């Protein structure tokens, strides 16, 4: 369905990698599908190109490779570029924002300012926008990372909050826009089948994994000052956990959903610094191979300090102190240079209390739900069935919900969904400030303990699934990571 009203989408960092790989391709796909108002305009802001023609040449070169898995529609691409305007702007020159004001002042509709820049520029950009009156009738989109810790996050939020109301601020986490995450809500709250089982009496453990084959990919300077805990756990993994564990909201209104997520984040059991070694594993990849290709150690990557103790892998055991989840361990894991690129949620149900059918029915994981977020988005329910032939021998079978096979409509990419939500003013899939604060508050003891520790991260070879200590942590609870069962 087409967005209801016109818009002016102003993209700061218009020549950056995120704009080229994600934002402009998502806007093109929305345009190609007829989901953008015909009068909507896209205004790219950068300081590298001299004029619109030069910028469109840059877009043609750098954006085209990232659009349309099924091939580029040249007619749609040409009409999409007609939407795109360009403003050359130097952020160090406040007077340049007057040029931006003049460029967008006559354009219709709500203004969306997307800050695809480093977080150090968020506040200067917002203040400059306010200085020329562009903070009215506007929405501001903030990319992660939003700060380095709770203090710096609050400083950014305080400053931005002086210029934009909370209802104007869209803190984006693209994992919340993925189709299986949305379907998780539908499965839980739209069906009587799952909700009665979604509690401590029937769930033995839950795993959330976001694994990457890639390394730092030329971002060594950024990553070495960030690490996996800040880059992935504080936002993506805790957001996914909050959706899995939340109580049913009274409606799907933005604050109803975010109120329930906040209750989960505030119910996370605080980690005692003395226990961190038991419930948290940090690792750093050494030289190894990914699918037969040799890759260097993290410490030799460009921009990384040779003696760096920055973690490229994190595994955590998390507990939620509330009635629904008391005693159920949540295992979170993320890392770079792992054996595969995968993001998935595994809900392991408890085995039957007694089996007349043999030990197979009693083993952990006989019944589980696997929600795959990437690379292919599916939901798979595992259960036991009788094997054909003589005797009562059980085997694992599964029921698949493969979206691309069941629904004729093509799946909408996460950024496309989220950008359409911003334009339409829907906040449910964006992170509220109090959610962000609760997440930072929970991870800070881990950050502090690791910063003060004399122990380096545990080594793991690139192309493996991380340090052995990660598997040992789960073994203490009688379980293992999903891939280890095979």
What is the pLDDT tens value at each position of the chain, 486 positions in all?
Answer: 455 579 999 999 999 999 999 999 999 999 999 999 999 999 999 988 779 999 999 999 999 888 866 678 899 999 999 999 999 998 888 888 999 999 998 898 999 999 999 888 999 999 999 999 999 999 999 988 788 999 999 999 999 999 999 999 999 999 899 888 888 888 889 888 888 899 999 999 999 999 999 999 888 998 999 999 999 999 999 999 999 999 999 998 999 999 999 999 999 999 988 899 999 999 999 999 998 899 999 999 999 999 999 999 999 999 999 999 999 999 999 999 999 999 999 999 998 877 777 777 777 778 899 999 888 888 889 888 878 877 777 877 888 877 666 666 667 889 999 999 999 999 999 999 999 999 999 999 999 999 998 899 999 999 999 999 999 999 999 899 999 986
Between CA 91 and CA 55 the distance in angstroms is 18
Q: What angle do CA 86, 87, 90 make, to 5 degrees?
A: 140
- Residue 199 labeled ligand binder: no
Q: Is-contact 208 241, C-beta < 8 A?
A: yes
Active site residue 236: yes
Percent helix, strand, coil in the chain, to 5, is: 40, 20, 40
What's the pLDDT score for residue 133? 95
Between CA 67 and CA 25 the distance in angstroms is 5
Q: How many CB atoms lie within 10 A of CB 405?
A: 9
Q: What angle do CA 65, 70, 72 make, to 5 degrees?
A: 50
In the chain, count H helices and then E strands.
17, 17
What's the pLDDT score for residue 364? 75
What's the pLDDT score for residue 23? 96
Between CA 415 and CA 176 the distance in angstroms is 10
Q: Is-contact 195 189, C-beta < 8 A?
A: yes
- Residue 174 labeled ligand binder: yes
Burial 427-436 (b: 16+ CB within 10 A, else e): bbbbbbbbbb
Between CA 242 and CA 432 the distance in angstroms is 13
- Residue 302 labeled ligand binder: no
Domains of the chain, CATH where assigned: 7-143 (3.40.50.720), 176-413+432-485 (3.30.360.10)
Q: CA-CA distances (angstroms) from residue 5 to 28, 38, 150? A: 18, 9, 37
Q: What angle do CA 388, 389, 395 make, to 5 degrees?
A: 45
- Residue 444 labeled ligand binder: no
Site of tokens 């030799």:
300
- Residue 178 labeled ligand binder: yes
Q: CA-CA distances (angstroms) from residue 381 to 194, 219, 370, 399? A: 11, 38, 6, 5
What's the pLDDT score for residue 427? 95
31, 48, 66, 236: the active-site residue = 236
Q: Is-contact 332 315, C-beta < 8 A?
A: yes
Q: CA-CA distances (angstroms) from residue 324 to 189, 195, 196, 198, 203? A: 15, 11, 11, 8, 10
The structure tokens listed for 345 are 């949620």
Q: Is-contact 166 143, C-beta < 8 A?
A: no
- Residue 230 labeled ligand binder: no
Q: Is-contact 445 270, C-beta < 8 A?
A: yes
Between CA 465 and CA 434 the distance in angstroms is 33
Burial class (CB in 10 A: 0-12, 13-18, 19+), 462: buried
What's the pLDDT score for residue 184? 84
- Residue 144 labeled ligand binder: yes
Burial 128-155 (b: 16+ CB within 10 A, else e): bbbebebbeebbbbbbbbbbbbbeebbe
């Amino acid at each position: 369905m087409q967005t209801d009203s016109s818009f002016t989408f102003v993209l700061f960092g218009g020549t950056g990698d995120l704009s080229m790989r994600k934002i402009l391709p998502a806007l093109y796909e929305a345009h190609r599908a007829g989901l953008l108002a015909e009068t909507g305009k896209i205004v790219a802001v950068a300081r590298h190109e001299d004029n619109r023609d030069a910028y469109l040449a840059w877009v043609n070169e750098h954006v085209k490779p990232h659009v349309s898995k099924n091939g580029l529609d040249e007619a749609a691409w040409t009409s999409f570029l007609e939407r795109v305007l360009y403003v050359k702007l130097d952020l160090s020159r406040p007077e340049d924002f007057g040029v931006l004001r003049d460029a967008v002042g006559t354009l219709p509709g709500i203004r969306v300012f997307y800050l695809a820049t480093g977080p150090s520029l968020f506040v200067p950009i917002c203040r400059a926008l306010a200085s020329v009156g562009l903070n009215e009738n506007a929405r501001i989109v903030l990319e992660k990372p939003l700060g380095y810790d709770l203090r710096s996050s609050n400083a950014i939020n305080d400053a931005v909050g002086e210029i934009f109301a909370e209802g104007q601020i869209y803190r984006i986490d693209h994992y919340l826009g993925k189709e299986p995450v949305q379907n998780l809500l539908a499965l839980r709250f739209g069906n009587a089948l799952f909700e009665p089982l979604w509690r401590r009496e029937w769930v033995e453990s839950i795993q959330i994994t976001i694994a990457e084959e890639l390394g730092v990919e030329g971002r060594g300077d950024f990553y070495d000052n960030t690490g996996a805990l800040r880059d992935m756990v504080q936002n993506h993994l805790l957001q996914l956990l909050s959706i899995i564990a939340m109580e049913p909201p009274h409606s799907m209104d933005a604050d109803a959903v975010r109120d329930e997520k906040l209750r989960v984040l505030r119910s996370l059991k605080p980690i005692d610094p003395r226990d961190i070694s038991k419930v948290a594993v940090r690792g750093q990849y050494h030289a190894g191979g990914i699918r037969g290709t040799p890759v260097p150690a993290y410490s030799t990557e460009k921009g990384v300090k040779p003696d760096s103790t920055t973690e490229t892998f994190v595994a955590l055991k998390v507990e939620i102190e509330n009635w629904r989840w008391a005693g159920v361990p949540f295992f979170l894991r993320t890392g770079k240079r792992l054996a595969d690129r995968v993001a998935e949620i595994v809900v392991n149900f408890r085995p039957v209390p007694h089996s007349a059918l043999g030990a197979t029915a009693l083993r952990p994981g006989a019944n589980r739900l696997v929600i795959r977020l990437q690379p292919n988005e599916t939901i798979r329910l595992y259960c036991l069935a009788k094997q054909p032939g003589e005797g009562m021998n059980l085997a694992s079978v599964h029921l698949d919900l493969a979206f691309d096979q069941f629904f004729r409509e093509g799946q909408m990419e996460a950024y496309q969904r989220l950008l359409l939500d911003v334009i339409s003013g829907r906040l449910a899939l964006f992170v509220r400030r109090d959610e962000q604060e609760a997440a930072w508050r929970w991870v800070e003891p881990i950050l502090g303990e690791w910063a003060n520790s004399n122990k380096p991260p545990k080594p793991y070879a690139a192309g493996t699934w991380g340090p052995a200590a990660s598997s040992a942590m789960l073994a203490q609870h009688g379980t293992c990571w999903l891939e280890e069962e095979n």
